[in-house]
Structure 1
């Protein structure tokens, strides 16, 4: 497969469920590359659905390039190749990679405004009830292909140090430093979510496609929240890795991240 996956999930609950199950099996290697999937009748029996539902699910897999139909041979599996230019980030050294990411990829600004922060953002950043923030929504691309959807909130007093045009051309981390911010620490969580219509459109994927969700809150040397980031990633174009060492005494050994391990280009801002 020459193009990165687009995840063309079919409409309809049953067809989408079958599609997702078969897609995950193919991506996880349960079906050999070049091998044939079971016939429509067997799949219909396995999933307790009609053959029409199976055909709709298979149509979605064909659109993704995960299978192809061959006359006389059935439905043949085509295991995906890594997407060209896919981004890898070492989780243990994620923050030091922020500037490198900004310089090696491009960004497209989708929205820019000054507004009151959502309550959850204000609470996470420790902002006053009357605080105003700059909200920016961007898509980051590698080799012209979108892989992340970014929503950032920065306190108005800090954000006035750079322009809307700056956000479209310069990594936010550098803009914060240029505005006099000394970053001290950050908290970060990783989870998963499904693509909403606007995010799906920006990332060129289907509504309901699985996405990696990262939330980061950055604090300065005085403990003030200076940035709130929500980043959504296409998992076929972005991945997080972590190197672990086995450390400790023989009776209490544990896994520990290797900080400073060699990191591929990654991170996000």
Structure 2
């Protein structure tokens, strides 16, 4: 039984420590508790702790210094992840396309699934262009993107274009204007192919986002299935309190305030 549960325990400790580093609970340059203390804190064996630390070291999040201890790397705080504004979808897509690098894995034309065909409001005999891209920030993969575009739109650009430019920019360059979108956000686990592309372990948690983009008159332009590493990508939404007759609610803010400086966050 221990052989079956040990990898799960290692995964849990690794994820918890990684989240503490990402959240600043274990600040850059700080020393981690000794292995016996961590084993007691997580109620696991020292072997489990050692394996979890090895994974963090492999991701260059910590340094193990013989005779001194284990420390969070000082450059962790300087690494930039992606913060997506949920309420400002299209601006975010353009900015991310310009500030990150993409690697195109597949590019093909095929019949869509019934779900995608209905979401894009396509005819039964229409095909879609399907592409799979992995985006990187600071040289680290953070997203696995599977996009389906109606063939009549996808024929306006090439595989080389898609490898070099953001998909939304190519769609709009072909004469279509993105006007509205519907998206769902949930969580999932990394399958073997996704885990390999994102440099993660199989079964690692991922943010899952599905988005259907529409143009004028509700024309379907793109169906995106996106998977993100939670340590390199986060979602945020700025809200305002609105009050009406007999009720009040939180609503998306019309404008996004400037991001606070590191000093402001401590006040």
* TM-score grouping bracket, smaller chain normalisation: 0.7 to 0.9
CA distance in structure 2 between the partners assigned to 1:163 and 1:45 by the alignment: 56
Instruction: Say whether the 8 Å CA contact 2:132–2:145 is kept in structure 1.
Output: yes
SS at match of 2:230: coil
Normalised TM-score (structure 2): 0.78
The answer to whether 1:37 aligns with 2:33 is yes
Q: Is 1:109 matched with 2:125?
A: no
1:192 paired with 2:177, answer no
C-alpha RMSD of matched pairs (Å): 3.0
Could you say which structure has the greater relative contact order, defined with CA pairs below 8 angstroms and 6 or more residues apart? 1
Q: Which segment is superposed worse, 58-67 or 224-233?
A: 58-67
Distance 1:168 1:70, change over 3 A: closer
Q: Deviations over 1:105-129 (max 9, x none)?
A: 3322110001111232223223333
* Structure 2: gaps (5+ residues): 1-5, 260-267
Q: In the superposition, relative to structure 1, how do residues 17 and 97 fare at CA in structure 2: closer, same or farther (>3 Å)?
A: closer
Separation in structure 1 between the aligned mates of residue 115 and residue 131 of structure 2, nearest angstrom? 17
- Which deviates further from its counterpart, 54-63 or 78-87? 78-87
The alpha carbon displacement at 1:136 in A equals 0.7
- Cα deviation, residue 65, structure 1: 4.2
Candidates 1, 8, 15, aligned match of 1:20 = 15
Quote the residue 1:8 is aligned against: none
Deviation at 1:239, TM superposition (A): 2.5
Shift of 1:169: 1.9
Shift of 1:198: 2.1
Paired with 1:144 and 1:204, the residues of 2 have a C-alpha distance of: 12
Distance (whole Å) between structure 1 residues aligned to residue 153 and residue 116 of structure 2: 16
Distance in 2 of aligned mates of 1:46 and 1:144: 34
Equivalence for 1:6: none
Identify if the C-alpha distance between structure 1 residues 15 and 122 changes in structure 2 by more than 3 Å, giving closer, same or farther.
same
Report how many aligned residue pairs link the two structures.
253
Paired residues of 2:19 and 2:231 also in contact (CA < 8 A)? no
Q: Distance in 2 between matches of 1:178 and 1:54?
A: 52
SS of alignment partner, residue 126 of structure 1: coil
The Cα offsets for residues 9-49 of structure 1, whole Å up to 9 and x where unpaired, read as: xx822322333334334444555662442542x54455454
C-alpha displacement of 1:228:
0.3
1:62 to 53, 57, 65: 57
3-state SS of 1:167 partner: helix
Q: Structure 1 regions of 5+ residues with no counterpart?
A: 1-10, 265-269
Which residue in 1 is equivalent to 2:146?
Answer: 151
